Amino acid sequence: MPGTMLKNRLEWINALLMAAGDLVIVIGVYMLGFWLRHSLLANLFARTLDRPLDFRLSALHYLVAGIVMGVVTVIVMQGFGVYRRNWGLAQIEELAGILRSSFTAVVITFALSFAVRELNFSRFVLLFSFPASSLCLAVWHGVLREMTRKAALESGLASRTAIYGCGALALELSRHLSNRGAFPAILCGFIRPAGRECESSIEADRADDLGAYLRDRSIERLIVADTSLSRDETADIIYACEHAGISYMLVPDVFTLVSMTTRFTSLGSTTLIESVTPPLHGARSVFKRAFDLTVALASLPLLIVPCLILSAVILLDDGLPILYSQTRLGRNNRPFRMLKFRSMTVGAEKMKDGLRSRNEASGPLFKMRSDPRVTRSGRFLRRWSLDELPQFLNVIRGDMSLIGPRPPLPEEVAEYTERQLKRLRTIPGLTGVWQVSGRSQIGFEEMVKLDLYYVDNWSVWMDLSILLLTVPAALSRRGAY
């Protein structure tokens, strides 16, 4: 089909543009590091030492090294899958891939610089390139993806997509597709499976001849969002998609929804799904704990003055106490006392039952945009997420991690299903996927899915990306109340 060929060609152009931009950015950052080290810092050192510094390598040498590093970075990012379109946690996983790729490229460039003994490159330039290029690449990827998405929607080149199903899952996927979908898509409607009830807000079509329905509406992608379909029904849908020449996506069955720590394997010629050990286990959990302690202890001296100022603000606004501790449940349902700067009036918990009719959150969560219990200083603290700072002490004590699922209240956990309890298989975090994905704008069920994905797909690079994204998330104040 001409339209499909054009879209495929544009996808290739977009991929080449992204890779070319990555190459230019890495080279530019590397040369910026060269300028900082050999011009700005060199002049400062020369004045301090009262003698000029002699550098054997010219800008041309560094330009060649920057080109090598840029090419290595692009190759490594391709190998690590950074250029793929679909991500489970969107920008979090993409940033994790960029950090991993940039670090690997710096290590390779380090090795090459030692191999070429007569060329002594500055270690500062190499070390500077890792965080600086990672940040610039992440911004570039985000800008390009958003520009591509908007251009595709405005030009009509977005993928014409239909959803097979009309239940709660179909509704959730349609909202995600419209707001944060990984690929630009135009939702062309819902298809109602025979004998299924639809959500009241969904207008679904019947498709007795699915192939004809897909062809008549020029559908290019079908998302099957009904996990109650029989094996034969699912097979018929796949055959219809293949005959119509369109791509399809299937929501996994209940087994995969229960456990994501699985992989495909084979026994003879039969494909099987095999369970694997969760990634945050054994030595990796020890490494995560060591990382938490290192960062938390290093942060304490920097937090002393801000915490004293915030304590004075709370004291002047609403008196004592300054801190508030609340029982939360940690790993494996273990209770602990979580610390926060007090942002509500004294006795706020006793007023909670009278406000339940005004609850704006879904599931067992309780959230209100205009909670009358919040003090004036508390509104400021919550808006900028400063009420969470005392939880660095919880991190040092081992009750919490820097990154992990939000620690729930005991009454919330009492309403959890067996699947939702998987959130408690890891240590709760000061920040996490929920905090950098919109916080209170995220519904409870989506929050659970994000946390389960994190638990089942943890990596040190994912933790680093969440930690970096926490700062802009806090500054944006999106979903903070």
Strand 221-224 relative to strand 159-164, pairing: parallel
The predicted pLDDT at position 263 comes to 66
C-beta neighbour count of 353 within 10 angstroms: 8
The predicted pLDDT at position 255 comes to 46
Q: Give residue 165's region: left, alpha or beta (phi > 0; psi -120 to 50).
A: left
Q: Which of the given ranges, 384-393, 455-464, 471-480, has the highest pLDDT on average?
A: 384-393
CA 80, 86, 92, 94 torsion: positive or negative? Answer: positive
Question: Taking a C-beta distance cutoff of 8 angstroms, is the pair 336, 327 a contact?
Answer: yes
In this structure, the dihedral spanned by the alpha carbons of residues 193, 195, 199 and 205, taken in order and rounded to 10 degrees, is 40
Q: Is the pTM of this model over 0.85?
A: no
The predicted pLDDT at position 254 comes to 52
Condensed to tens digits (0 to 9), the pLDDT of residues 424-466 reads 888 999 999 888 887 667 778 888 888 888 888 888 999 999 9
CA 125, 129, 132, 136 torsion: positive or negative? Answer: positive
> Does the structure show a pLDDT above 90 at 269?
no
* Averaged pLDDT for residues 109-124: 71
> Does the structure show a pLDDT above 80 at 198?
yes
Condensed to tens digits (0 to 9), the pLDDT of residues 298-344 reads 999 999 999 999 999 999 999 999 999 999 999 989 999 999 999 99
Which own/partner pairs from 239-244 qualify as long-range (CB within 8 Å, at least 24 positions apart)?
240/210, 240/211, 240/214, 241/214, 243/211, 244/211, 244/214, 244/215, 244/219
Cα separation of 387 and 342, whole Å?
A: 7
Condensed to tens digits (0 to 9), the pLDDT of residues 398-425 reads 999 999 999 999 999 999 988 888 888 8
- Work out the pLDDT band at 481, boundaries 50, 70, 90: low
Cis peptide before 407 (omega within 30 of 0): no
- Work out the pLDDT band at 223, boundaries 50, 70, 90: very high
> Does the structure show a pLDDT above 60 at 182?
no
> Does the structure show a pLDDT above 60 at 259?
no
The predicted pLDDT at position 422 comes to 84
CA 405, 407, 412, 417 torsion: positive or negative? Answer: positive
Considering the chain, tell me which residue range(s) the CATH 3.40.50.720 domain(s) occupy. Answer: 158-251
CATH of domain 158-251: 3.40.50.720
Cα separation of 118 and 56, whole Å?
A: 10
Question: Taking a C-beta distance cutoff of 8 angstroms, is the pair 264, 273 a contact?
Answer: yes
> Does the structure show a pLDDT above 60 at 237?
yes
Cα separation of 330 and 40, whole Å?
A: 49
What is the chain's length? 481
Cα separation of 101 and 106, whole Å?
A: 9
Residue whose tokens read 């055959």: 239
Condensed to tens digits (0 to 9), the pLDDT of residues 348-357 reads 888 888 888 8
Both tokens of 50, joined, read 């009262």
Q: Which of the given ranges, 2-11, 23-32, 80-89, 279-288, has the highest pLDDT on average?
A: 23-32
Strand 159-164 relative to strand 185-191, pairing: parallel
- Work out the pLDDT band at 24, boundaries 50, 70, 90: very high
Of residues 193 and 440, which shows the higher confidence score? 193
Condensed to tens digits (0 to 9), the pLDDT of residues 30-82 reads 999 988 887 766 666 555 555 555 555 678 888 888 898 999 999 999 988 88
- Report phi then psi at 187, rounded to 5: -80, 115
> Average model confidence (pLDDT) for the chain?
84
Cα separation of 234 and 239, whole Å?
A: 9
> Does the structure show a pLDDT above 70 at 119?
no
> Above pLDDT 70, what percent of the chain?
86
Cα separation of 3 and 22, whole Å?
A: 28
